[in-house]
Structure 1
């Protein structure tokens, strides 16, 4: 039977999802974080799902793209990237997105973050219509499960008193003992065998102590440390020297390719990035300067799953390792990450995922971690189903918000606890 894969409707649903009080160099996560759920519907009634950032600056281009899709084939994914998205360039030109934690923002990178959700939704719809998993559309899987790393954070026991939020079950982690306890909890719940600590929160000596405590508690397990560019080159070299032989890699210790290249030249510890290589145009400088040895891909940044495969191929040609970056995300994005990760031959590092921190989702069933891994679904499309009641509930939260949570701002969230807080100048140390 011939399927009619013409797009007849596109539904965009901005939502607010509960988030834990996780600390980083810019401040603390807000009680709720914005996400955007994309649904692409075909004439045959097949619905493909996608997910991306839901901050206000992403919504206008998403709406402009959604208006252009009815009447087009869901198979024409290449055509998506030729369409004109409305972007208010004055709001994004070379600014730091989400306090710098997503790197430098510009109009092209914003477009790709929006396009990524539509590309995933189209691939999900294609897979459902053809009875094939997304990984088959990407060339086929080379592994049956994908390994993920426990993503550890310094955190408060709860959001500041008087700030509306959901209950937090994890408790505080503000010192090495707290980080080790958090890692044990992640291991017991999900079976993770590698660990990444979000640093840049406390002076480097305190974070070195936390990594050493993890190494003692979990001997032989891969460890990573990510201060989000909070350190100077001398501080980065000092930390690298202290943790040589302990870290699997050190992620974005300093800001920018030039600084990373200087650190790389002075240490044997591999450097990873999701901040100085986030577009194809940034690859040449970083790779020829040997500034990074591992790129943390992110299909949201790079424009989708097919571009992720292109990035992995370029990394392989240069002998650069590949893993995957994660920001606060739900199950649609985790399913998409897992599908594309299953197709990357040279994926030798566990991927990051915030998903265990998210107490809410828009799926009928949460994605499970077993032994620190997610099984690669062979069901048609992404292999996930939307919970419409939960989607509606989280959208109501967004609709009823007074605007304070519709853009992620970790510095503003920190000021709820400390009105004197200002975004630190980089490098902090």
Structure 2
């Protein structure tokens, strides 16, 4: 999975398919894909509106059309409009490795190239090493009964791994107790704290209290990733595998200090190839994290097909939207998706869905309502620590406003029995 001199290091002879490979047009359509009911309750809490999606189509002289997508307000790279002028008139096979083109355009280029050459997109990455790719279910922090309902749905759809968000305004122990008897044998949980455990002094003790949950296997970013000594301490004093986003701290520091067990990898094709190779050299597993619908999930499976250390289940969140935007859904069996063998991404864009979901004004996005969060918790005792007195708080804004209140130490983290009521305001 290594780009060489700006070209794919792969067995595909792109020169043999050069006739008709000139890019003649690039088109964009912006849509709003609603969230499924439970996710619709909670996703407005995040700072960006993930329901806004830009579909990109790349047409070649041969008539081939490649497709891609960008989650407009949550992406590793938006598509700059000057990129269109850069690619039109060029041979598609020469444009695959330029990450500056952004998510949707690059994905569409790879899809078009695969169709033009008659091969799956992964053939341009390198040698295929797996025929099925692991994938995980994803949930923001939900109420306990909602997590249980999501877990049951996920299991019914073939998932065996669950990435969940551990938030200081939630009773994570209560949430895990609710899930404990719902998940089948062999199911695993990754818990992402996004740095919310603050420091090793608090994190070690708290994570030890979670060690009794045998399904909980991986902890992602328990404290800020730049705290090298703190993360090393957490890794050495708890049983969990520690996952960190690649690049923070700098990769040489990460390797020298052996600060984590594996990585979260994302970005464009060149970044994926480079990060994958470094991880493999260090013998560190990783999961691919590329958020999007069925289109992005197919792209992620293509990338994972050639990455030896993409051994942890990938995160794409494709199940949070009502429509996966592809004609034939990707099937998860035993926690894995089969790597498509048909050309390009291996999926077909559902153009009827795109037409139905298209924004009336392509330049105007819907405005989300103002939201307040009403938190309340009873008095409780945390093992080995002082009693947490009962209390309440009201915070306005998005998730990062909630985090700020906890990061400053103004509120107790993970108190037993805490509740959160969300109130939307029309003004």
TM-score, normalised via structure 2 length: 0.75
Deviation at 1:64, TM superposition (A): 1.4
* TM-superposed deviation, 1:4: 2.0
1:320 is displaced (CA, Å) by 1.8
1:196 pairs with 2:163? yes
Instruction: Give the distance between the partners of 1:361 and 1:282, measured in 2 at CA.
Output: 35
| Contact 2:51 2:321 survives alignment (8 Å) | no
The superposition leaves residues 232-289 of structure 1 with CA deviations (integer Å, 9 ceiling, x where unpaired) of 1133212321223632110111123225345334434221123xx258x832222323
1:165-244 aligned at under 5 Å gives the runs 174-175=143-144, 177-188=145-156, 190-200=157-167, 202-203=169-170, 206-218=171-183, 219-233=185-199, 234-244=201-211
Does the Cα contact within 8 Å between 1:150 and 1:194 map onto a contact in 2?
A: yes
Corresponding residue of 1:272? 243
Distance 1:230 1:57, change over 3 A: closer
| The structure with more helix, counted as a fraction of residues | 1
Alpha-carbon shift at residue 137 of structure 1 (Å): 1.9
1:398 deviation in Å?
5.8
Q: Structure 1 stretches of 5 or more lacking a match?
A: 82-110, 156-173, 406-411
Give the alignment's Cα RMSD to 1 decimal: 3.1
8 Å CA contact retained: 1:339, 1:382: yes
How far apart, CA to CA, are the structure 2 residues paired with 1:60 and 1:379? 27
Deviates more, 1:353-362 or 1:364-373: 364-373
Residue 15 of structure 1: CA displacement? 2.1
Label 1:8 to 1:417 Cα distance change in 2 as closer, same or farther (>3 A).
farther
- What does 1:277-292 correspond to in 2, within 5 Å? 277-278=246-247, 282-292=250-260
Name stretches of at least 5 consecutive residues in structure 2 with no aligned partner: 1-16, 376-393, 414-427
Query: Deviations 1:284-319 (Å, cap 9, x if unpaired)?
Result: 222323222121112xxx222x43232122112223
CA distance in 2, matches of 1:397, 1:237: 51
SS of equivalent to 1:248: strand
TM-score normalised by L of structure 1 = 0.74
Choose from 234, 258, 264 the match for 1:263.
234
Structure 1 match to 2:320? 357
Structure 1 pair 8/403, CA: closer, same or farther in 2 (3 Å)?
same
Name the one with the larger strand percent. Answer: 2
Aligned to 1:126: 113
Deviation at 1:49, TM superposition (A): 1.5
State the SS of the aligned residue for 1:399. coil
Shift of 1:400: 8.1
Change (3 A) 1:227 1:380: same
Distance 1:197 1:421 in 2: 23
Instruction: Provide the secondary structure at the position in 2 that maps to 1:344.
Output: coil
Structure 1 residue 413, shift from structure 2 partner: 5.8
2:189 and 2:78 mapped to 1: Cα distance? 39
Question: Structure 2 matches for 1:320-339, cutoff 5 A?
Answer: 320-327=284-291, 329-339=292-302
Q: Does 1:393 align with 2:356?
A: yes
Shift of 1:179: 2.3
Residue 87 of structure 2 corresponds to residue 69 of structure 1: yes
- Greater Rg over alpha carbons, structure: 2
Alignment check: 8 A CA contact 1:21 1:31 kept: no
Measure how far apart 1:75 and its partner are: 0.8
Alignment correspondent of 2:28: 12
CA distance in 1, matches of 2:281, 2:50: 40
Are 1:303 and 2:268 matched, yes or no? yes
Aligned to 1:343: 306
Q: 1:41 and 1:215 mapped to 2: Cα distance?
A: 49
**Higher RCO (Cα < 8 Å, 6 or more apart):** 1
Greater Cα shift, 306-315 or 123-132: 306-315
Deviations 1:332-358 (A, max 9, x none): 101100111111122322222311121
- Aligned pairs, number: 361
User: Does the 8 Å CA contact 2:49/2:73 hold for their aligned counterparts?
Assistant: no
